[in-house]
Structure 1
Amino acid sequence: MTATCYFQNMLSQVKSAINEQRPKVSTSRTLLLHDNAGPHKARATTQSLRELGIQDLSHPTYSPDLAIYDFWLLTILKNRLAGQKFGRIQDLTKALNSEPRTIPEEDYQFVFRKWQIRLKRCIENHGEYFEEL
């Protein structure tokens, strides 16, 4: 995925969702946690985020346990889409965009609380490796 593809397919949806949910605030004062993937750190992405008023939070290098999609969402998506064949990239994109909407809000809230605990533990350990969670 390129930065342009990422911005056009993902960040534009995030911007629309924020504008819909918080019309008076829009994207200003929005914080977004990215991992260190190339499209997330590309100049085009960071510039676009600045233009939208979205602040990109730094993600510690090699910390997949702090990325919700690594330890939770990707597992769900892999399990739900396992064995399905997609003849066109548009069909895969549609499936990947629709599946997260079927996850109950309570599940997102629970995982968000667990993520906060992980972040706190990382801060307490000064970014050093730890196993217990």
Structure 2
Amino acid sequence: MNLSPQDLAQQLALGRVGAGTVLLAAPVPALRLMGADTATARRVSWLTRMMAVRDAALGVGAVLAARRGGDPRPWLVAGAVSDAVDAVAFAGAIKQGRLSGPVPAVLVPGAAVVAAAGLITAARLGRS
């Protein structure tokens, strides 16, 4: 399936809203899934909620911009930067032994791919 840049932007934005919603609603289980131990997940659940609100706000901003005839590109670029920083932070946490398991190992390339998709989509929107 070949999505238009507008459709891909919408999918990226809605995915970000969904991820933010899950992290906000269940920060401790989400962190446990990401490879943190229970004590750490509980201690930093407030940070997870901050990340959740950031992601949801970036997603909602992109959705609203696109639906109102505005430009979602700044929102996509901001999301891509956030995802790239997340990839670096996850990689550092894995290297330091703070996160373990198969999910964290997938989070690093996953966040990098989503960051690249956001930048590429923003560039494609600029040409359309």
Q: TM-score range by the shorter chain?
A: 0.3 to 0.5
TM-score (norm 2): 0.32
Higher radius of gyration, 1 or 2:
1
| Bigger relative CO (Cα 8 Å, ≥ 6 apart) | 2
What TM-score, normalized to structure 1? 0.31
Higher strand content, 1 or 2:
1
